[in-house]
Amino acid sequence: MNLKNKNVFVTGSSGFIGSHLVERLVQEQANVTCFVKYNSKNSWGNLELLPKDFLSSLKIIPGDVRDIHILHKSLKDIDIVFHLAALIGIPYSYTNPRENFQTNVLGTLNILTAAQENNIQKFIHTSSSEVYGTPETLPISEFHPLKGQSPYSASKVGADKVVESFHYAYDFPSLILRPFNTYGPRQSARAVIPTIITQALTKDTLNLGNLNTTRDFLYVADTVNGFIKAAESKLTGKTIQIGTGKETSIQELVKKISKILNKEIKVNIENNRIRPNKSEVLRLCADASKAKQLLDWQPSISIDEGLERTISWIKENINNYKTNIYNI
């Protein structure tokens, strides 16, 4: 499916990945409607960081995925839905599990229902590598069992299964894309890479949690390319994950960032930054062979290059971060 002149709808468009996806969709000459969570300041989040000529081409609709009525109205004449809206903070999910399920599961059900009744052509749903928990085997394939090791991961498992059920029950044209740990410019400090970078730029000692866990870090441009290829493909009813197939520990991240900044960094372990023992996901590493085979997708940005790009952006925007608190 060629995206040029297609009417696309992006939930979570004001977020980190969402804003990068919107930027790419404009470049692909799609007609983009951005669904942003309503707030009294009328803030459009990361979308406001886009060039003015990009912003002027967007249709902005404030609302909440928990409200099915605004979704029904907003999806009229839409061809493709990219569903990225979610509460994503894992520590936040420990203290607010109900809100996680209302947004991530019921919100997904709401937009699926609205999309189905508006006869959209394709629905791309965003999953998370957290749905696997600590893996039984590595690298992780799409056939790996799902495990709700946190309220967040359980809510994402639930959302994925709701999407899956619409495909089987109603022959709904959906595809589940499961990115591993995306990072890059505009990411908030609730994620580990901007947490390390922002602290490293402003002080000599970092406050972190578990340094031994590993993640498969995927640069945001590669993640967005996965969304584009998923939308352009004829595939439906599939779950496809994207990642680099390489593990990087938090300790290794500190060393890499320290080297790029040419700065010696000390680390202080704070207990409140460590997940409950049974809830910690120890390792994540993707088998992305399915994405390569079905979408002709593969990552192009190395972790070192991606960190350099991210550090450069954060340096210019450091005042947007609260480096003296733990962002959950």
Q: How far apart are CA 186 and CA 210, in angstroms?
A: 24
Is residue 171 classed as helix, strand or coil in its secondary structure?
coil
User: Could you give the CA distance from residue 7 to residue 76 in angstroms, rounded to a whole number?
Assistant: 10
**Dihedral pair phi/psi, residue 268, rounded to 5°:** -110, 125
CA angle 283, 280, 325 (to 5 degrees): 110
130, 180 in Cβ contact below 8 A? no
β-partners of residue 175 are: 124, 238
Cα–Cα distance measured from residue 97 to residue 108, given in angstroms and rounded to the nearest whole number: 16
Q: Specify the pairing of strand 205-208 against strand 266-269.
A: parallel
Joined tokens for residue 105: 């599961």
* Active-site pick, 132, 152, 183, 219: 152
What are the percentages of helix, strand and coil residues in the chain, rounded to 5?
Answer: 45, 15, 40
Residues 27-66 as b or e (16 or more Cβ within 10 Å = b): ebebbbbbbbbeeeeeebbbbebbeeebbeebeebebbbe
Q: Which two tokens stand for residue 89?
A: 């903070």
Angle of helix 250-261 relative to helix 192-202, nearest 10 degrees, comes to 40
Cα dihedral across residues 306, 25, 315, 205: positive or negative: negative
Number of H helices, E strands in the chain: 12, 13
Is residue 92 flagged as an active site residue?
Answer: no
One-letter amino acid identity for 126?
T
Residues annotated catalytic, as ranges = 152
